[in-house]
Amino acid sequence: MSESVSQQTLLSTLKRVFGYDAFRPGQEDVVRALLDGRDALAVMPTGAGKSICFQLPALLLSGVTLVISPLISLMKDQVQSLVENGVRAAYLNTSLTHKQVELVLNRMARGVYKIIYVAPERLTLPAFQRAVAQLNVSLLVVDEAHCVSQWGHDFRPCYLEIAPFCASLRQRPTVCACTATATRRVRDDIIELLCLNEPRLVTRSFDRQNLFFEVERPKQKFLALRRRLDICEGRSGIVYCSSRKKVDELCEALAALGYSVTGYHAGMDQKTRRQNQDDFLYDRKRIMVATNAFGMGIDKPNVSFVIHFSIPGDMESYYQEAGRAGRDGSAADCVLLFQKKDLQIQRYFIDNPEENEALSKKEAAQLRRQRHEKLDRMIDYAEHTGCLRQFILDYFGEEAPDNCGNCSGCLGNRLSIDVTVNAQKILSCVVRLKADARPQTVAAVLKGREEAAAAFGSNSTFGLMADMAQSEIERLIAFLCERELLMLRDGVLTVTDDAKDVLYRGRHVRMAVAKEGGSRRQKKDSADLAGGITDPVLYSRLRALRKTLADKASMPAFTIFTDKTLQAMAALQPRTLRDFSKLPGVGSHKLEKYGIVFLKEILAYLKEINTNS
């Protein structure tokens, strides 16, 4: 690391700006390399925190950082988040008007911005080159760096202009290349074609342990999709289709059945795409049905399921799209609904590609052969009877055990569902009932039974699970005992030390249940078992407050605070601004801007429950 930047400065900046006390695995290695003036290649899965790897050194280096990205949505979201964190940032892409572009270029030339996001197509434009010529560019970041390789899954010829642009600058900046998915051949291409100089290679494990992978081979895919959506009721998710026509058909059919759904594909006009995307990002619509045109750069942390209604063309695309679930680390489901007839459209896309003038006929033929090989590997995944996680990790050159215990291949005819919220409700009730925490009493209190109201009606957990059958609550209590999160002694329940990890430290609880045959009762039972969060009443109030603030500011709610930060608020219930500042995701700028208003809500809630208890 540069001698001018101490470890203390590094960590204090991380906390002050981004609200985190420590680095995630791999982040510090990249940050240290860039601050040392060494090029870096970061191959890190979605949700691993790649943006911190370059945003933090950008703030500590003396000059300006240029971030090259093909993703308009990512630019807007990340710039908005940076501004919310008190960082001077801007973006340049086709979503801006001519007057807005001129304004950004003028401010660029005057040194107003510390971080500037730009689309690769703009690098060759004279106006942009003139503005950049006046800047001290200390760091050049290439996001989605796999796009430079013809052997990647999303080759973009404009990425070949990056190396010449970098060489044209008055002084070569340090270069950081980032990608979520890259085979060894693609990594070699990135290093060669971007002219990286002996880069520090940081490769994080591709294993996303919070994701549950499943392949289902249904006879009627639409019915299977509906069952999945019913299980995930109330949660946000994406359904991927291979064609625009299928997106429109599914959207229309699901909307007619009352689902909160919108759609996205390249055939829609720009205004419609933007409106539908914002409806999803701002949580006005729960389900996004889309082609692969949607998702790259969508930094929405609370996507809890991704369902592939159609098989993708390769494992890279599948893993990148599935990886848009669970970005906040929460448990999430990634399901492929596979029918062999779906392969026809993928083979058509491969054999009838868009014309690419950058490729010779020989190269184009070789690329077609390689894409057929990639599709064959995708089919192998869909038909795999063993551990799906091991298959994925093996594809990316990573060793893994042959049984992960968290995919359909390992669980057989079982479905793993997240029951964290309801587990937290039960554990909270046991804590509050103390010596009265007998299993039937706990179930009656949570159910809100009339006979329990006289003695326990003022308890803050009374009626929290009123919409569940008491037998289901009792079944969950027995499960928590089996998992040693509860202990039953002399007929009374107590929480174990492991339960504190679930209540206060973000540990998730998953439960395997029999796969459903499609009956309404079975759907309801599985949906009932899944649930919410520690102190769900406070959490609900904090979400409502966040939505009010976000709507007023016309920004996605997660830009203010992520669900993870709200969960920490509900669990830890800070009483002072100092305590509030210790929450994950709360930096100094957000503490100053939002601390008091959220603290008031927490204190008002605590006063209400103390008055009623």
Predicted confidence (pLDDT) per residue in 89-112, tens digit: 999 988 888 899 989 988 988 889
Which of the four CATH numbers 3.40.50.1000, 3.40.50.300, 3.20.10.10, 3.30.2130.10 does domain 7-203 have? 3.40.50.300
Q: Is the pLDDT of residue 519 over 80?
A: no
Phi/psi at 415 (5° precision): -120, 125
Q: Is the pLDDT of residue 39 over 90?
A: yes
**Measured between alpha carbons, how far is residue 242 from residues 152, 294, 381, 465 in Å?**
19, 12, 17, 39
The mean per-residue pLDDT over the stretch 21-26 comes to 87
How many Å is the Cα radius of gyration of the chain? 25
SS3 content of the chain, % helix, strand, coil (to 5): 50, 15, 35
- Name the residue with tokens 């899944």: 530
Structure tokens at 604: 């008002």
**Helices 126-133 and 98-109, packing angle to 10 deg:** 20
Q: What is the pLDDT of residue 152?
A: 64
Closest alpha carbon to 221 in 347, 285, 307, 312: 307
Residue 407 DSSP class: B
The number of angstroms, rounded, from the C-alpha of 388 to the middle of its chain's C-alpha atoms is 20
The mean per-residue pLDDT over the stretch 41-46 comes to 86
As a whole number of angstroms, the distance between CA 199 and CA 575 comes to 46
Q: Is the pLDDT of residue 399 over 90?
A: no
As a whole number of angstroms, the distance between CA 471 and CA 28 comes to 49
The mean per-residue pLDDT over the stretch 80-94 comes to 90
Sheet holding 137-142, edge to edge: 89-92, 115-118, 64-68, 137-142, 174-179, 40-43, 200-203
Q: Is the dihedral of CA 436, 437, 438, 440 positive or negative?
A: positive
Q: Is the pLDDT of residue 483 over 50?
A: yes
Q: Is the pLDDT of residue 297 over 70?
A: no
Number of helical H runs and strand E runs in the chain: 27, 17
Residues 6+ apart with CB under 8 A from 92: 101, 104, 105, 116, 117, 118, 119, 122, 128
Q: Is the pLDDT of residue 518 over 50?
A: no
Phi/psi at 62 (5° precision): -75, -30
Domain ranges of the chain: 7-203, 211-407, 420-508, 536-612
As a whole number of angstroms, the distance between CA 184 and CA 194 comes to 16
DSSP letters spanning 137-175: EEEEEETTGGGG-TTSSS--GGGGGHHHHHHHSSSPPEE
As a whole number of angstroms, the distance between CA 357 and CA 364 comes to 10
Q: What is the pLDDT of residue 452?
A: 87
Asked if residue 192 lies in contact with residue 385, where contact means CB atoms within 8 angstroms, the answer is: no
Q: What is the pLDDT of residue 1?
A: 40
Closest alpha carbon to 143 in 71, 242, 210, 215: 71
> Per CATH, the architecture of 211-407 is what?
3-Layer(aba) Sandwich (3.40)
Q: How confident is the model at residue 571 (pLDDT cuts 50, 70, 90)?
A: confident
Q: Is the pLDDT of residue 409 over 90?
A: no
As a whole number of angstroms, the distance between CA 242 and CA 318 comes to 12
The mean per-residue pLDDT over the stretch 460-470 comes to 86
As a whole number of angstroms, the distance between CA 470 and CA 460 comes to 18
Asked if residue 357 lies in contact with residue 336, where contact means CB atoms within 8 angstroms, the answer is: no
Q: What is the pLDDT of residue 290?
A: 93
Phi/psi at 579 (5° precision): -65, -40
Mean per-residue pLDDT of the chain: 85
Closest alpha carbon to 163 in 133, 142, 146: 142
- 179 - beta bridge partners? 43
Q: What is the pLDDT of residue 260?
A: 94
Structure tokens at 570: 């509900």
**CATH code of domain 536-612:** 1.10.150.80
SS3 366: helix
For the chain, the residue count is 613
Same fold for the pair 7-203 and 536-612: no
As a whole number of angstroms, the distance between CA 320 and CA 295 comes to 9
Predicted confidence (pLDDT) per residue in 250-293, tens digit: 999 999 999 999 999 989 988 898 899 889 988 899 999 999 87
State the fold for domain 420-508. Arc Repressor Mutant, subunit A (1.10.10)
Closest alpha carbon to 338 in 216, 518, 212, 224: 216
Listed range (22-31, 385-394, 526-535) with the worst mean pLDDT: 526-535
The number of angstroms, rounded, from the C-alpha of 269 to the middle of its chain's C-alpha atoms is 26
Q: How confident is the model at residue 522 (pLDDT cuts 50, 70, 90)?
A: very low
